[in-house]
Amino acid sequence: MRAHFIVVIAVLLGAWSVTPASATVVVKDDIGGKMEDYNSKFQRLRRSGEAVVIDGKCYSACTMILGLLPPNRVCATQNAVFGFHAAWMFDTAGNRVSSPSGTRDLLKTYPASVRAWISRNGGLRPEMMYLQGRALAAIVRPCAAGERTASSGQTAQVARQRAAVNVPRAGFDAR
C-alpha cells in the first residue's frame, strides 16, 4: 500500500511539472498584422515562459518576436524566413500610407543585431526585405534537433496560443 501511494504521488508530481514553460510554440506562415496586436500577443508569450520555434514565414509584425522575447527562448529552423518592411497605416480615404513614427517604433522593438542588419540592407522601406539562411543564423539562434517540434506535454492553452500565432493576418507583402 505504501509503495502504491508513493507511485501515485510521483505520477501526480510528474503531471504537475508539465507546465506551459515546458512547451514549445511553433510559428509558421505568419504574415503579420497590427503591431499593437502582436505586441500584446508576444508579451503574453513572454510571460508564459514558453520557447518559440520559427519554422517558416514570420513577416511584418511577427518579426517583433525578435525583440519582445528573450533570445534564449527563440530559435529558427532552416525553413525560417523573417520578412521586414516599414510600418504603414490607412489614411482618411482608406489608402495605405507609410508611417514614419510607426517605423521608428518598430525599429525600437528590435535588438541591436536586427537593427544593424536592417541598416546594412538599406533600412526599412515599403518593400519586404528577407532575413534567412546564414544571415539569420548569425542573428537568431539555430534550433537544436530537439527544439524543432512541440513538446508532447502541451496543454490546451498552448495549443490555442499556437493556433493564434499561426493564423495568417492581413499584412503588407509587396514583392
**Domain locations in the chain?**
22-166
What digits encode the pLDDT tens for the residues 46-97?
Answer: 999 999 999 999 999 999 999 999 999 999 999 999 999 999 998 899 999 9
Architecture of domain 22-166: Alpha-Beta Complex (3.90)
Query: Is the distance from CB of 47 to CB of 25 less than 8 angstroms?
Result: no
User: Is the pTM higher than 0.75?
Assistant: no
Which residue would you say has higher pLDDT here, 9 or 112? Answer: 112
pLDDT of residue 2: 46
**Exposed, middle or buried by CB within 10 Å (0-12, 13-18, 19+), for 169?**
middle
Max CA distance (Å), the chain: 76
Encoded amino acid at 30, one letter: D
Q: What angle do CA 120, 117, 41 make, to 5 degrees?
A: 145
User: At 146, is the pLDDT very low, low, confident or very high (cuts 50, 70, 90)?
Assistant: confident
Alpha carbons within 13 A on the beta-carbon side of 89: 9
End-to-end Cα, the chain, rounded Å: 68
Is the confidence at residue 173, as pLDDT, over 60? no
What digits encode the pLDDT tens for the residues 83-139?
Answer: 999 999 988 999 999 999 999 999 999 999 999 999 999 999 999 999 999 999 999
User: At 149, is the pLDDT very low, low, confident or very high (cuts 50, 70, 90)?
Assistant: low
